[in-house]
Amino acid sequence: MRQWQSRKFLPSLIPCALLLILGSCGGGHETPRPEAARAALGGAPLFDDTDPHDWVGTAPWHYAVHGVDVSRYQGEIDWHRVRSADISFAYIKATEGGDVVDGMFETNWSRARAAGVPRGAYHYYYFCRSPEEQARWFAAHVPVDPSALPPVLDIEWTHQSKTCRFRPEPEEAREMIYRFLKALTLRYHKRPVIYSTVDFYADNELWKVTGFNFWLRSVAGHPSVTYPAQDWIFWQYTGTGVVPGIAGRSDLNAFVGSRAEFATWAAR
């Protein structure tokens, strides 16, 4: 399987004159509001951020492709409205550990596809069960669907868990990651994506994990700053997004490339 070649950043395709409204020409701070960028292009605001960061350098709105990640906490989702809001993809929580299934997974999985939203599933990992057991649990609940996006391993510290706060040594954590990803690759014939946070990434030296795309959470700086030298495919840039069709706040994510590049990556 051909591995997608991620890039650390993508130059804006919007002329600098149009970006004056964002205050980004020549670098410096940006007002990271999507409606401002869309107004510059003559479009209406489609999704927003209730608590945007004051970005320095490359802001999320320099990227053409944006998506959401959702779970039961978002409740009933109107996926047709989400699609109409120019949301280009969705990652849907399926499972966690070895005994929990997200209560909205099946509904979100079928409705997102019916609405034409490219979607993939993610698993929230716990270190108190083996990688193989968790991979089997995920596989038991997520169907093999060639049209789906590659599966995602969501791996971060579970410090708020009441039952599993185990923190393995970095080498052991990376070995578990490889075992889980290997199992999913064999099952779905797609190379999974690794989602992680700044602290977990640093604590476990995840830059040593190779051969897989990264989805990086970075809500206070561009990934090139918070994850130096790490290539990435998705950037989770806020947890306070507002998307038509989704009640309350949403995580928003940017894809590293163009719309055409996303279509190529999604079809691999």
Question: Distance (Å, rounded) from C-alpha 143 to C-alpha 138?
Answer: 9
Sequence length of the chain is 268
Packed helices 170-188 and 131-141: angle between N→C axes, nearest 10 degrees:
30
Question: Distance (Å, rounded) from C-alpha 109 to C-alpha 141?
Answer: 11
Dihedral angle, C-alpha 199, 266, 99, 75, nearest 10 °? 90
* Segment (H or E) for 236: strand 234-242
Residues 6 or more apart whose CB falls under 8 angstroms from that of 180 comprise 125, 131, 132, 134, 135, 153
Do the Cβ atoms of 214 and 5 come closer than 8 Å?
A: no
Question: Is 99 one of the annotated active-site residues of the chain?
Answer: no
* Residue type at 230 in one-letter notation: Q
Question: Is 69 one of the annotated active-site residues of the chain?
Answer: yes
Nearest to 73 by CA among 60, 92, 58: 92
Question: Distance (Å, rounded) from C-alpha 244 to C-alpha 82?
Answer: 6
Question: If phi over 0 gives left and psi between -120 and 50 gives alpha, with beta otherwise, what is residue 116?
Answer: left
Name the active-site residue from 35, 78, 132, 156: 156
Nearest to 102 by CA among 171, 154, 173: 154
Question: Distance (Å, rounded) from C-alpha 21 to C-alpha 29?
Answer: 12
- What 8-state DSSP symbol labels residue 120? E
Q: Which residues are catalytic?
A: 69, 156
